[in-house]
Amino acid sequence: MIALLNPNPSPGQAGSSHSARVGFTKDATDICLTKNKPFRLYPDWVGALRPWREPSPITHPATAGSATFMKGFSKLENNPFRALRPWREISGFTLIELMAATTVLSVILLMMVGMQDQMSKAWSNSNRRTDATREARAACRLMANDLSCLIYRGQDDDNQDSIAPILLNQGLPFYFSSNGLGSNNSASPFSIAGVQPGASLLFAISRVKPQGTSPADFAIIGYYIASKLTTNVSGFETTNYNLYRHYVPASNAVSNLSTWFAATNQTPTILFQPDPTQDDILARNTCNLRITFYNREDGTYSPGRPNRVRNGLNYQCPSGGGTTFHSGNKIQAEISVYPEELAQKIPYTNWINSTNIQKYARSYEFRVDVPRN
Amino acid sequence: MKSFAHPTSATFARDFSDQKNNSFRSLRPLREQSAFSLTEVVIAMGVAAVAFTSIIALFPLGLNMSKESYEATQAALIAQTILADVTDQQTGNTNLRTADVFNFRQIQITNNSDPARTSNNYILVPIDNPAQIQTVYIPYKPFTGTSDTDTNNPSIMRPAGGQLNGTIPGWYTNGSNGCFALVKATFSPTLRYNRPDSYTAVRLDISIETPGSANISNRTCFLYTTAFRP
């Protein structure tokens, strides 16, 4: 802009603009700002950013005196530079410009808010999935610990002096159902409120690690799937399947076991009394508990054949047409866990649907080696 | 006229460059005053781009958290399953224990985990030569409904094959499409250097590498080390 007002610039004074200016000298326009000292305006100095316009006829400002010179310039009508620049550069933004800018800004903001919303949902879903995975991992860890410490004893182990008389020639109680049903697919002896149909049940005695100053002991443990009605903070009621852990500590397990041994009718329900209102929820939104014993009693694969384990943990594997008792084996467990947001969308009765399990749930499987004597 | 002195010298331009003394300032602000230069705009856009990129880059990190948690959980369970196969003495050919549990251990290499179908589901790993390291490569894929233990057909990570020793398989080095994880189980002697017996521990390193479709250099490795006694 300064260069525009430079009177009669020589090529030496033009600086870096010299080379570009030389070719347009013939198009220069004289602008009289002072008497006998015309200014020259070179259109190439205006640059590509501003369109060249023919200047308006200019009245020499000297005739109006020094005071009116600026006054005259302040009036846009008399401003000799007006023709060189459009109105808006002087007057600011027009309403149309502001509206257009606001519209563009609104569109951008809407896009960003939408993107933020999607990101927020993805983040929340990711957190819920992580929570579900964490719960499943904790559940699997505790289950593996319990299952790998199951206590078993054959009925022939009655020659130990340390065994109380009431325990002599007694197999330790144990209940397992691969499909939640009773013997030969009869009704389950347990009446657990809201238990998931088809899910495995397992109740047994397991060793527990020393706690505090107490020595190692045993406890009654059990695993099952049952539903629970909950009310969230918004007042909505939802019913979910959860993985429950039935746990009776050693202080009560011993007396319960003695009572069971002394009973004339030693049914599983006397010793194992699962109650969803009392037992711990090990993992929420969990279904499809599958527990498999290696090797099972029948030994031969056949679809629909019950996965049966006989005589507590003294399960056997066939050998040459007969049966041979072995003292150790493996247990496999599976669970399927739904993330929280999907658990609320899908009715819990449809959780065990194969499509839903494969599409929305995450399934976990592990095996443990049962200790041997 | 004194207020608007004739610019007879080089100070004319300097006077006009001085914003405070510029008589035309109120009429026409200089370009440097009225708008951003191209350089400024480019720099501003660059700063904004870096800031947005940094913020947006945080989201995939958060989303990966779920994936990594899932992979870590599955890796731990796979390692536990392999360890159970190895430490168990009973599951083996035709539902019986192996002929000599001091000589062999077994690892599942097929997707069928039905305990009644064990004749071809396992690979025998010799552990009778303490000086020789045994390496087993196993790809893991999601399977559904492969046996009667898979009621309701959950998608479970199961072995899809296996190789004992030999040349490192190409699918292990380069990754294999559809694989969730690639497993490398290494049996190595520990303290004793004679034939293992019931008192000799064998070290087992289980490397669970995810994702199974990625090259070996781009996989996350979950390493579990344990020892077992025959």
Residue A223, pLDDT > 90, answer: yes
What's the pLDDT tens digit per position in A109-156? 898 888 888 888 888 888 888 888 989 999 999 999 888 888 765 544
C-alpha–C-alpha distance, residues B79 and B205, integer Å? 9
Does the pLDDT value for residue A192 go beyond 80?
yes
Cross-chain residue pair B116–A298, CB shorter than 8 Å: yes
Nearest by CB: B115 against A3, A295, A319: A295
Give A211's DSSP letter.
B
Residues B176 and B87 placed together within one structural domain of the fold: yes
Is residue B202 within 8 Å of B131, Cβ to Cβ? no
Tokens for A201, please give them: 């049940």
Q: Quick check: B71 contacting A, CB < 8 Å?
A: no
Q: Considering the domain boundaries, does residue A240 fall inside one?
A: yes
Tell whether B50 is covered by a domain: no
Chain B positions touching A47 (Cβ under 8 A) are: none
A chain contacts of residue B206, beta-carbon cutoff 8 Å:
none
Residues A155, A267: one domain?
A: yes
State yes or no: pLDDT of B181 exceeds 90: yes
Check residues A205 and A169 and name the one with the higher pLDDT.
A205
User: Do residues B14 and B128 both lie within one domain?
Assistant: no
* Domain-embedded: residue B38: no
Q: Is residue A291 part of a domain?
A: yes
Interchain CB contact of B5 with A (< 8 Å): no
Q: Is B11 on the interface with A (CB under 8 A)?
A: no
CB-based contacts of A142, cutoff 8 Å, min separation 6: A245, A282
Asked whether residue A72 falls in the same domain as residue A121, the answer is no
Task: State the DSSP H helix or E strand holding residue B174, giving kind and residue range, or none if neither.
Answer: helix B170-174
Q: What's the whole-model pTM score?
A: 0.69
Q: Under an 8 A CB cutoff, do B151 and A288 touch?
A: yes
- Residue A104 belongs to a domain: no
Task: Determine the 3-state secondary structure of A281 from DSSP.
Answer: strand
Asked if A278 is an interface residue toward chain B (Cβ–Cβ < 8 A), one would say no
Cβ distance A330 to B85 less than 8 Å, yes or no, reads yes
> Chain A window 9-48: which residues touch B at a Cβ cutoff of 8 Å?
34, 37
Q: Are residues B27 and B131 in the same domain?
A: no
Q: Are residues A65 and A191 in the same domain?
A: no
Are B97 and B150 in a shared domain? yes
For residue B57, is it within any domain? no
Q: Are residues B8 and B103 in the same domain?
A: no
Query: Is B20 in the same domain as B72?
Result: no
Assigned token pair, B159: 């072995």
A110 found inside a domain: no
Domain boundary among A91, A106, A132: A91
Is B51 domain-assigned? no
Q: Do residue B153 and residue A296 have CB atoms under 8 angstroms apart?
A: no
Q: How many domains does chain A have?
A: 2
pLDDT in tens, A169-191: 566 777 888 788 877 778 888 88
Q: Which of B114, B149, B152 sits opposite A357 (nearest CB)?
A: B152
Based on the fold, state whether residues A157 and A66 are members of the same structural domain. no
Q: Domain check: are A62 and A184 in the same one?
A: no
Sign of the C-alpha dihedral, residues B133, B200, A318, A271?
Answer: negative
Q: Residue B137: which pLDDT band, with cuts at 50, 70 and 90?
A: very high
The answer to whether position B44 is within a domain reads no
Q: Which domain holds residue A141?
A: 117-369
Indicate whether A137 and A28 sit together in one domain. no
The two tokens of residue A181 are 């049903």
Q: Are B222 and B112 part of one and the same domain?
A: yes
Cβ neighbours around A138 below 10 Å, total: 13
A70 touches chain B (CB under 8 A): yes
Does B73 sit within 8 Å of A140, measured CB to CB?
Answer: yes
Q: Same domain for A87 and A123?
A: no
Question: Is the CB of A360 inside 8 Å of chain B's CB atoms?
Answer: no
Tell me which H or E stretch contains A90: helix A88-91
Residue at a domain's end among A56, A91, A126: A91
Q: What is the torsion angle, in degrees rounded to the nearest 10, for the CA atoms of residue A213, residue A217, residue A223 and residue A226?
A: -50
- Is residue A128 domain-shared with residue A52, that is, in the same domain? no
Give the three-state DSSP class for A40: strand
The mean pLDDT value of chain B amounts to: 75
**A225 in Cβ contact with A243 (< 8 Å):** yes
* pLDDT tens string A12-64: 444 444 444 444 444 555 555 555 555 555 555 444 444 445 555 555 555 54
Same-domain check for residues A267 and A352: yes
* Domain membership flag for residue A204: yes
* pLDDT higher than threshold 60 for residue A299: no
Q: Is residue A81 part of a domain?
A: yes
Mean pLDDT along residues B113-117: 59
Same domain for B28 and B86, yes or no, is: no
What residues make up the domain containing B216?
Answer: 67-228
Within a domain: A102:
no
The count of structural domains within chain B is 2
* Together in a domain, B106 and B203: yes
Both A85 and A124 in one domain: the answer is no
Interchain pair B12, A6: CB under 8 A: yes
In tens, the pLDDT along B52-74 reads 788 777 777 777 888 888 999 99
Tell me if chain B has a CB within 8 Å of the CB of A332. yes
Q: Are B195 and B128 in contact (CB under 8 A)?
A: yes
B23 is a domain residue? yes
* B48 located within any domain: no
Using a CB-CB cut-off of 8 Å, the residues of chain A touching B27 are: 73-74, 79, 81, 90
Q: Is residue A356 part of a domain?
A: yes
Same domain, B25 and B107: no
For residue B83, the SS3 value is: helix
Q: Which residues, in sequence order, are bridge partners of residue B82?
A: none
Q: What is the pLDDT of residue B67?
A: 85
Higher pLDDT, A121 or A81: A121
Residues A59 and A167 in one domain: no
Task: Give the model's confidence band at B147: pLDDT under 50 very low, under 70 low, under 90 confident, else very high.
Answer: low
Of A126, A290, A299, the CB nearest to B151: A290
CA distance B193 to chain A (A): 26
> What is the Rg, in whole angstroms, of the alpha carbon atoms belonging to chain B?
35
* Interface contact B193, partner A, CB < 8 A: no
Q: Which of A5, A130, A369 sits opposite B16 (nearest CB)?
A: A5
Same domain, yes or no, for A260 and A354?
Answer: yes
